A and B are shown apart, each in its own frame.
Chain A
Amino acid sequence: MRRLYPITRDLHLYLGLFISPFVLVFSLSVILLVHGWVPAASPEPAVRTVTGLSLPEGLERLKGRDLVNALRPVLDAIGVKGEVDFIRAIPGEHCLLIPVHFPGRDTSVSINWEKRSANIATRSDGWRGALVYLHKMPGQHNASVRVNSLFMRLWKWFADATVYLILFLTVSGVYLWTALRAERRIGLGLIAAGAFSFAGIVYAVCR
């Protein structure tokens, strides 16, 4: 017990310091999301066209993750980096619409597989857009396609790590508080008040 307290205190401090920037990112982005303070992407996109694309055979028959994997070299070749949100095929126009995201940057790629050309429109939505995008990713939608870029694989890992470390910090924090005898009564009161508020609001929302 005597050794556990200083070890827990040090782990609480150092792991808390490591994960604190991520906690700030998630907290700030919540405020942006709750109030809709997310800036719209810059109105004038930077547009460019690339011709003479080398496209894999049978592109129009592929779907989901296979299609993303097949298109990744094409996107690399035209200098579009980032996470593919989804791919929408418009067979009548021989066209694939591909939104690609980076934190703070939104690129819309339209590939015409008949003409072997691509229109690329890039918009910037700044650091606030980056925070909100990171908060929402990888997210619950298009699970079969998502996490198709290296940065998103890393971000998913960090987002998970943030959760696990926050859980550790809360449990270790409670343990460290129990050692403060003078604060036990008020601490218990605050836990009870928090639990009461939490249960009350959840009940009001869900009933």
Chain B
Amino acid sequence: MPSVGNQTPRGARPNSLASIFERWNRKLHYYIGLYLLFFVWLYSLTGLLLNHSAWKFQQFWPGRMVSAEERLIQDPAPGSDLDQAREVMRQFGIRGEIALPVGRPTPARLEVRASRPGYNYVILADLSQSRARLETTHVNAWGVVRALHEFIGVRLAGSGTRRNWIVTSVWALSMDAVSLGLIVMVVGGYYLWWRLPRKRAWGVVALAPGVLCCGAFVFGLRWLWS
């Protein structure tokens, strides 16, 4: 079997820029692929699950577990809704990405919705009586893996919502990294293919239908029905 890991482009000196680029482009193609292997598997398989939400084995919502508890709380210090929400969540010992309603009906009422994969929390706090009720919805592993695919902490485009849990930010960063890694692999892969003259023609035969089909979905349909 040929070892193609350290080839030098034809006509290039081993230490020329072209040669270094060639070598590292090839290495990066499989280094990135190997590093991102588990992330790619996760997003691919969960994407498949989301595409086939009717598949029976992955139905997690009917089997969800809901629990509730009510307790006295220490009134959170004056501050933003987010700070107060964090303080109340700390007292319940829960963590997650917080979604606050647009406004509070009265300053004494605080409603907090928070989530992390597998758990959804709703806290209704009555600060005038220093009481709060926490409702927790817990779903099984299928619910967790599906949530991982969508857990970005930004709810609506243009809504101005921002991630408020560091873990969500790290997860979103990993999504960015996986996406950028795949883009680098694809673009680097095009170059690797182009450097194989004997495979160019068949490569065009393989690439062209992909470009045409994809372009039809992204641009063509709109143009066709405009």
Contact = CB atoms under 8 A, between A and B. Distances in A.
A160 B152 CA distance: 22
Nearest to A181: B3
Contact of A198 (B42, B157, B179): B42
A181 B189 CA distance: 21
Nearest to A80: B225
A9 B31 CA distance: 17
Contacts, number: 221
B9 interface: no
Size range of the interface on B? 35 or more
Interface of B: 1-6, 27, 30-31, 33-42, 44-45, 47-48, 50-51, 53-54, 116-118, 144, 146, 148, 151-152, 154, 156-159, 161, 167-168, 170-172, 174-176, 178-180, 182-183, 186, 189-190, 193, 196, 199, 202-203, 205-207, 209-211, 213-215, 217-219, 221-222, 225
B53 A139 contact: yes
A143 B53 contact: yes
A155 to B, nearest CB: 6
B210 A21 contact: yes
A173 B30 CA distance: 7
A23 B167 contact: no
Interface in A83-100: none
A23 B41 contact: no
B209 A134 contact: no
A142 B143 CA distance: 17
A201 B219 CA distance: 36
Given A13-B199, A23-B186, A27-B186, 11 more contacts: A15-B206, A25-B217, A38-B157, A143-B53, A158-B213, A163-B48, A170-B40, A187-B34, A202-B148, A205-B148, A206-B117
A106 to B, nearest CB: 11
Interface stretch (A49-57, A61-69, A113-121, A189-197): A189-197
A72 interface: no
B178 A127 contact: no
A127 B193 CA distance: 28
B193 A13 contact: yes
B73 to A, nearest CB: 24
A37 B156 CA distance: 10
Contact of A163 (B30, B47, B186, B214): B47
A194 B34 contact: yes
Interface string A152-183: 00111011101100110010011011011111
19 contacts: A13-B199, A17-B193, A19-B210, A24-B182, A24-B214, A26-B47, A34-B152, A40-B158, A105-B222, A105-B225, A140-B53, A158-B213, A160-B51, A163-B45, A167-B41, A194-B35, A205-B117, A205-B170, A206-B144
A17 to B, nearest CB: 4
A87 B117 CA distance: 30
A58 interface: no
A180 B27 CA distance: 11
A173 B181 CA distance: 15
A127 B218 contact: yes
B95 to A, nearest CB: 9
A67 to B, nearest CB: 18
A130 interface: yes
A33 interface: yes
Given A13-B193, A31-B176, A22 B157 contact: no
Contact of A102 (B30, B117, B222): B222
A2 B1 contact: yes
Contact of A30 (B36, B175, B205, B210): B175
A167 B213 CA distance: 20
Contacts of B217: 25, 103, 130, 134, 151, 154-155, 158
